[in-house]
Structure 1
Amino acid sequence: MEGYATGGVSRAKFMKLSGEEIPCTVPVLCTVREAALTLQKFLPGGSLRLITEAGEVLSGSDVIPSEGAVQVQVMSIAEGQWSSLYCGAFEGFDEAKLRGALQEAWPGDWQRRRAEPEHPGQDTMDEELKEWQEQCREVLQEVVLKSAGPWADYWTFGHAACSYGYWYVRPPYPTRAPSIDLMVNDLKRWQKIVLDLEDEFAHLRTRCSGLELGEHLEMAIASLLRHCPDHRTEVYWHVGFEMWYEPFAMLVKWYLSSAGFEESQQDILTLVDNAITGFNSYHTPKDTAAQVAAKVASETKALFQEVDSTRDWVQARELLSDVETPKELAELSSCEDPHLRFIETVDERRDATRAARMRYALARCREDALSGKELELSLLLTWQHCIMGEKNQDAFREHDAYAKKGRERYPMLRNTESDFVHLLSEASAGESTGKSLESVALRACRAYLDILFFHPFDDGQSRLARLVFDFVLTRAGYTVSQPERIFLFSKSAKDSEGAVKLVELVNQLIVKPKEDWCSPLQKWVADHPPPGLQYKSRWFDCQSYPNDVPP
């Protein structure tokens, strides 16, 4: 149980689907991944999904609740290349044995041998060092694979995206000690990637179960595209820099293997590989997922239909009617901030850092609203940086976007951004349609849904939509008393009737805030430093490497 947090035993009870209790205990503050090492002994045959009494599905890095029942489901994995890779990573490796083998095989510290440049004008030191590093890496890679097993070959995946001779996996240092630390830490990073991927694959297999081939492929590929460097999503590893298609094809084939295609429809893996590597482009096409799914569906005579949920919303939007805001509005019973309360209950329960970022984003949003700023794309970008905790997106998205577990697609067309900017301007307070002055409830709801169904950025749309909704209300001097009734329910791009009902609900909940209602938010921001506003180091990226500290 090395690596577990100390401090006693968790009182959580683990239960099978049958209701039978699993005779297993874990330490307090134990993560799901750590607990799985013990639970797997009682429930072999696949990866595990842990679900709390509240129905929350826990991810690998989540901490096991300190008490209560936790349901454990076995997510079966089909036999094939992915199951072999996952099982090897799950079993792990003997770190002491690996370090010993690397020390014994070390070819000696680097020393410059050539006194004169082999080619005039070249940097002899760099060329000679690079040659030595490649030879050293080959020797040590063989040792790693022999000691840990075939699953430990992260170099094949990492270097598949190599271009212009860049290193995608950091080369050895000129001396032994830091080189051994580097290889051990990189193997731990690779192990974490494989284990996290199975969490992602298991969710995908559940979501795609029973779907037609074309839709299954589109949903899976759209979900996995977040690991491509062109997509600015909150991930800690990417599949490359320019030649993204080789490792991405490998990634998609691993998923298909886990879902049983390798056993039943091997040709599908080949067709997918050909469709992805056939792009031969340094950037992912705007409609990558739809293109690949359409090509494979065409080859196999399967059904496939492209979806345009943004178009569906624009059509539904035209039918969205206004509901007059009551002239006499109730006032908040106290100086509470309903949106802040939502962050402290819903967001905080999910992730403390996510909640902290959202507090800062809400404070910035309110500041902009109270200063009379217009709702523009540049303003959304500022809030987006706060939401995501990194300044990694400075424009409208460049690719198709998906939501509702892949069942809604928002294509990136030539006029998508300009249409969005035009519609966004309608949210400005006092905007006249030429017929009558629109209510604040209509403008807030419409802008909220515009964010959801145009999906302007690669990630964080639901949180951004909440800020836009809050901005419109705050600028007009209002808030809503129960935001959870608005934010916690799914919306459909086609549901014009549901959009009207949303406006009606906001009119019921709209209230006037008390004078000091923002004080708790302002005090929190004043007492806490901004959380994580920086670039992240990403693995398999030739432009930067993660820190040498263990992952």
Structure 2
Amino acid sequence: MSRVPYPTELSWGDVDPASHPFDPDAVAQVVHSLGPARRVPSRTDPDIDLTRVNWAHEVAKPWSDAMTYALVEHYGQWAAGWRWSNGEGDVDGGPVGSWCCGSHSITTPQQTLGRVVAALCEWRDWLERLVEWFEAYPLNPETLAADRILWESAARNVILHVADWTGAESGWYGHCQQVLGWFLTYWGVAPETAENLVRQAVGGRFKSWTAPDTVLAADIAERLVGPLRPEDTRWFPESGELPDHLERWLVVRESVPWPEDEGSADNGPVAPARDGAVEEFRFFDAAVDAARAAGLLAALELVRADAARGATLDFELIRGWQQHILGTPEPPSLRTHPAFAKGGAERYGIGPDTRARLDACLAQATDGRLSLAARAARAHLDVCFFHPFDDGNARAALLTLLFVLARESVTLDSVLLIRRFSHRADDPQDALGLCGSVKFHIEQSRGALAQPVVQWSSSG
């Protein structure tokens, strides 16, 4: 499956309760059956030296991330919001009160899993309440001109409901803007258009720890609805097949101002005391599934051996790694049908020249005119959006990035920012954002002090 989305990235299609069946009576059984439930971390674990390990960042957060991954695999993308807590929790400004953050919410296994169950049910209840609020004002794009006041009233009430439910605490406005986008999408506005309309209407006027008064809410609602014209297909497009996001990526790829190699004296091998990829696989992936972690570790060993022997980066090389990732008897073949990701929001086409085009893109990872971070990030995104396999593409993309780094003897002490965020095929800023994350991790790894490696057991 693709990378788990950050809650702020969830679209209405991802979370719409009508599209995602849910049985609240079965949640406890499901949560207790998941891999992370068998490995709830403890501050009393003798293998963890709390004087030298940041428990919240290096233990609690990876476990919470692993639980999110497992919930999303079982329920779908919408479940990623289960820990979107009020105020300054794991994710600021959400509607969930049953979970704060790993530091405070992870205690005994029984209490911790109970909080996961309660938080997931609370998040689902919130989504169902949103539908009720949306439906409280039945809207129709065809009669928008006559019912504009009704649209504005509905939007205003959505703002006030979100402010009330989140307590208007730290970062609440981010979710409020997201919900306004969901509201417009629910009633037929194109998702990207809805996002832009919300951004323009709000204009930075929401603030943390400050609930909007009715005057501000009404003004934002008026600005939100004002540009809409029912006859304009920019707002209300006819339904049809998704565009080919692989083709969009190839256009964006050429427009991104990729950072150039500055010939810095800081270039050169990086060998931190802690191997971030190994730790990630041994804890995060092992918490999801022990076989998954073993496959990734075997693939990583092959990646580094291939880098050391100067192997050419192409589809044939990657499919050799993918055999270990998926645990298949033979290396997997190139997919033969269009692929979908991000809950169906992106579609990647397939053609007779797809493999050749992928190989041509990957060959550019040796372009010394660009910085190492840029080359690694671009190769990662190439694999993401060519989406060459039927499964495991996000893992293949990460290994591709690590291969590009390994060819220049660079090891990262963390892959957190690289792995936890998804990226859109048609947004140049997302590409630059990943590039910045890779650069940050390289610099952090280069300057990291020697730290002990925490050894995690895949058997718990």
TM-score normalised according to structure 1 size: 0.40
More relative contact order, 1 or 2 (CA 8 Å, 6+ apart) = 2
Q: In proportion to residue count, which structure has more strand? A: 1
Tell me which structure has the larger Cα radius of gyration.
1
Q: In proportion to residue count, which structure has more helix? A: 2
TM-score normalised according to structure 2 size: 0.48
